[in-house]
Amino acid sequence: LGIKTDKSFARTGETGEFSNGVFEEFSTVVDIRYIIGKNYYQKRDFTNALFQYQRAYDYTKRFEVSTSLTAKIAYNLGVSLRQKGFYNESIPYLEEAHHYFKTHNDLKTLAYTLFEKGISYKNAGKFEEAAKCFSESKVILETLELKSLHVILQHTVATEITLLEDPALAEEQLLDCLEMIRNDHNPQRELLICTKLVRVHMHTSAQDKQLEYLQRAERLIQDHQLEATVEAAEYYKMLAMNFIRMNQFNDVFEYALKSSELFGKMGLVIDQLESLQLVAEAYELVGNYKMALSYERLCKEIALDLRKG
The parts of the chain modelled with pLDDT lower than 50 are 1-23
**Contact assessment for residue 53 and residue 73, using Cβ atoms and an 8 Å cutoff:** yes
- Using alpha carbons only, give the angle 50, 192, 71 rounded to the nearest 5 degrees: 30
CA-to-CA distance for 19 and 21, rounded, in angstroms? Answer: 6
Q: For the structural domain made of 25-145, what CATH number should be given?
A: 1.25.40.10
CA distance 83 to 70: 20
Name the residue among 61, 99, 62, 92 with its Cα closest to residue 77.
92
The SS3 of residue 82 is helix
Amino acid 153: pLDDT: 87
Looking at residue 65, what DSSP letter applies? S
Q: Coil, strand, or helix at residue 17?
A: strand
**What is the predicted pLDDT for the residue at 177?**
92
On whether the CB atoms of residues 103 and 137 are closer than 8 A, the answer is: no
Give the dihedral of Cα atoms 259, 274, 91, 229; nearest 10 deg: 10
Measured at the CA of 94, the angle between CA 93 and CA 96, to 5 degrees, comes to 65
Give residues with Cβ within 8 angstroms of 57, minimum separation 6.
70, 73, 74, 77, 93
The H or E element that residue 260 is part of is helix 249-266
Q: Which DSSP state fits 126?
A: -
DSSP string, 37-72: HHHHHHTT-HHHHHHHHHHHHHHHTTSSS--HHHHH
Q: What is the pLDDT of residue 64?
A: 66
* 289 Cβ contact list (under 8 Å, min separation 6): 283
151 DSSP 8-state letter: H
Structural element, H or E, at residue 218: helix 207-224
User: pLDDT of 261-282, one tens digit each?
Assistant: 999 998 888 899 999 999 999 9
Please state the domain extents for the chain. Answer: 25-145, 241-308
User: For 2, phi and psi rounded to 5 degrees?
Assistant: -80, 135
Please report the pLDDT score of residue 263 as a whole number: 94
Per-residue model confidence (pLDDT) at position 149:
82
Task: Give the tens place of pLDDT for each residue, 190-224.
Answer: 999 999 999 999 888 788 898 899 999 999 999 99
